[in-house]
Amino acid sequence: MDINKIYVIGVGQMGSGIAQVAAQSGFEVTMYDQTEAIVKKGYDRVAGNLEKLVAKGKLEKAAADETVKRIKTSVALGDAKDADLVIEAIYENPAAKKAIYAELIKVIKPETILASNTSSISITELAASTDRPDRFIGMHFFNPVPVMKLLEIITGYLTSDATLTVAKAIGEKMGKVGVAALDKPGFIVNRILIPMLNEAILLLEEGVASAEDIDKATVNGCGHPMGPLHLTDLVGLDVTLAIMEVLHREFGDSKYRPSPLLKKMVAAGKLGCKTKEGFFKY
């Protein structure tokens, strides 16, 4: 199946990153969100990122202009009617995701593939809420999407081999390193990474070391590009908590218990970079 038009739902950091990379890779992209103001913010973020690449000499001005021309915006899901692929990248809430799919399947073509960028929700469960579980797949990108090379491709119980083949080809065209994973909580990276971030928060909570020193430790002791607390701020404390809660609930293992400090900070609205404050100030 030829994929030309990609409809991206949600223009937060992940959705806009996906839209940018897709447009830079030659796909016709539509960025959807609930209001004109939100969509504009996402679109401006992409345009700004492209400008920065041009200023750094990493992208030709003409290529940036062509990329921008390939991006449309939308505030009505009906605009997805001619999409070949829909990538949903909204917040981690199964009910909200399913509500969007329920609207989408009324308008999209029968052959359109539906992908979710979910970081932890079961692909099988999301797929089952649609009319096309064989054409439903997880395409999990990493933050910041234009920089991180990985694409986890997650097959649900009923995802067809043909859909997997198409998703792998799209990832390749986007210049990503694709890895396939089965539909188990956390897939590959988040099952490893998020408990590590949670453990760093527990260290802080126990007073073992300061936030600065916890981060200094893994940067200088393990060669990580950024420390776990800074990374939690980048990922979002709310997203980190949501993933820990899924791991805890689905595996029923106390080792995945979310840190009480993480819960408290999310309740207080300290969500990291996006709210300008988490473990550090931005």
Active site residues: 119, 140, 152, 190
Is 136 among the residues that bind ligand 3HC (CB under 6 A)? Answer: no
- Binding test (CB under 6 A) with ligand 3HC, winner from 27, 136, 142, 256: 142
Is 16 among the residues that bind ligand 3HC (CB under 6 A)? Answer: no
Is 147 among the residues that bind ligand 3HC (CB under 6 A)? Answer: yes
> Residues, the chain, total?
282
- Which residue, 71 or 235, is less far from ligand 3HC as judged by CB? 235
H-only helix segments in 88-235:
94-104, 123-128, 161-173, 189-205, 211-222, 228-235
Is 96 among the residues that bind ligand 3HC (CB under 6 A)? Answer: no
- Binding test (CB under 6 A) with ligand 3HC, winner from 67, 190, 198, 218: 190
- Which residue, 5 or 156, is less far from ligand 3HC as judged by CB? 156
- Binding test (CB under 6 A) with ligand 3HC, winner from 26, 48, 144, 269: 144
Measured N-to-C along each axis, helices 260-267 and 189-205 cross at an angle, to the nearest 10 degrees, of 90
CB of 142 to ligand 3HC, least distance (A): 4
H-only helix segments in 105-147:
123-128
Instruction: Find the angle CA(1)-CA(170)-CA(24) to the nearest 5 degrees.
Output: 120
Residues 6+ apart with CB under 8 A from 206: none
| 3-state DSSP percent of the chain in helix, strand and coil, to 5 | 50, 15, 35
Binding segment for ligand 3HC (CB under 6 A), chosen from 127-135, 142-150, 206-214, 273-281, is: 142-150
d(CA 65, CA 47): 9
- Which residue, 64 or 83, is less far from ligand 3HC as judged by CB? 64
DSSP state of 57: T
Q: Which residue has the tokens 């797949």?
A: 137
d(CA 127, CA 132): 7
The Cβ-side half-sphere exposure at 214, using a 13 Å CA radius, reads 23
CB of 144 to ligand 3HC, least distance (A): 3
Is 235 among the residues that bind ligand 3HC (CB under 6 A)? Answer: yes
Site map (CB under 6 A) of ligand 3HC, residues 257-276, x = contact: --------------------
CB of 140 to ligand 3HC, least distance (A): 6
- Which residue, 108 or 145, is less far from ligand 3HC as judged by CB? 145
In one-letter notation, the amino acid at residue 136 is F
- Which residue, 40 or 191, is less far from ligand 3HC as judged by CB? 191
Is 146 among the residues that bind ligand 3HC (CB under 6 A)? Answer: yes
Give Dmax (Cα) for the chain: 55
How many CB atoms are closer than 10 A to CB 275? 15
> Which residues here bind ligand 3HC, judged by CB under 6 A?
49, 56, 58, 119, 142-144, 146-148, 190, 193, 225-226, 231, 235, 239
